[in-house]
Structure 1
Amino acid sequence: MRRWKCKVCGYIHEADEAPEKCPVCNADKIHFVEVDDKGDEIALISEIVVEVPVQEVKPKTFRDRLAALVLKLHLHPIAVHFPNGVLPVAVIFVALAILLGLATFKEAAFYNMVFVLLTMPLVMVTGYVEWQKRYKGAKTALFMTKIFCSLAVLICLLILVVWRLVDPTVADAGSVNRMIYLGISLAMLAAAGIAGHLGGKLVFGSRG
């Protein structure tokens, strides 16, 4: 049985031929290479060795070193855990404030959302670096959906926080806009959940 490795996400496929699409990241067949039992790429027998003049290696810029540090320390998964842990709590607090008229939970939800909003730039910047460097900026459905969901979370957060600043009573039990506010909160949570699911699929998909 031959082994094929996706060069985008690292998924290992065991079959006589590489799959048409990667089941994890949806990359095309051309992104697969044959590997041995150790995961090392197998060179093609018909491959022609061409001598290429040695080019001067450019020194790494500060941006390159920073990107390497992001990958080495896995800063994107670390950064994502903060908003993903707080966001569901904030939405639950919004629901309790609106449905049960608990003013304390309304305030707690607002401050939690402010915290998540402040962490989003770090999440998105490290995610962009991870996508560009580790996954070669592959524009597959999985990555495009993750990007769309991240932007949706950010937009929803901005709407919720700004709306709450303009109208402090929007999440009150008697507010005429309370269900719209709750609906945006639930949409934000759903987008975050989808992004998290796809991220988990990307990281753990090859483990079954």
Structure 2
Amino acid sequence: EKAIALPDGAVDPFRLCVSNAADAREHGARIETHAPVTDVLVENGEVVGVEIEHETGPGKRVHREPGATEEIRARHVVNATGAWAGNVGEMAGVDVEVRPSKGVMTVMNTRQVDTVINRCRPKGDADIIVPHETACILGTTDEEVDDPEDYPEEDWEVDLMIETLSELVPELKNARTLRSFWGVRPLYEPPGTGTEDPTDITRDYFLLD
């Protein structure tokens, strides 16, 4: 058994998302939460905007009736919708080969570590511990799903996180689970790749114009 220290870093994705939105608003952007895209506006072969439907929810600005739709036009439309990129692309008649893959993150009531701990082994489930404020987050699984909005959240995934990662930090066996949450990765598979295992799909970034 060996341990290797290397430079690494982590960001708080929740604060990062809110900070980006706050900075954009300070520079004149309009932020619309709880407003799913219901259509992409295409004119003369060019994307010119989107149609959204206003829903209710925390922090929602009250300027439209719930259920009302609105067209928002722009010089550029960026489809940065993660696991929904294929669905939104389809609205514009564009094929985006997204293969959604779910993963669980389990938050424990103990921190125990002050740096990210990663198991040095071939890719697999349950191989990372991330400290976050007074807790630590265990991850993750990699299970392909058909629908990014409808997939099973299973107990075995949480059990696997605790059992496997307690081999690295034994105190996790005595810790309490605060909560678990699942996310869906927007794995992009270029046409013709034909990868069977979602863990074999690159996690690289792609810009499709």
TM-score interval (norm. to shorter): under 0.3
> Which has the greater radius of gyration?
1
Higher relative contact order (CA 8 A, sep 6+): 1
Q: TM-score, normalised by structure 1?
A: 0.23
Higher strand share: 2
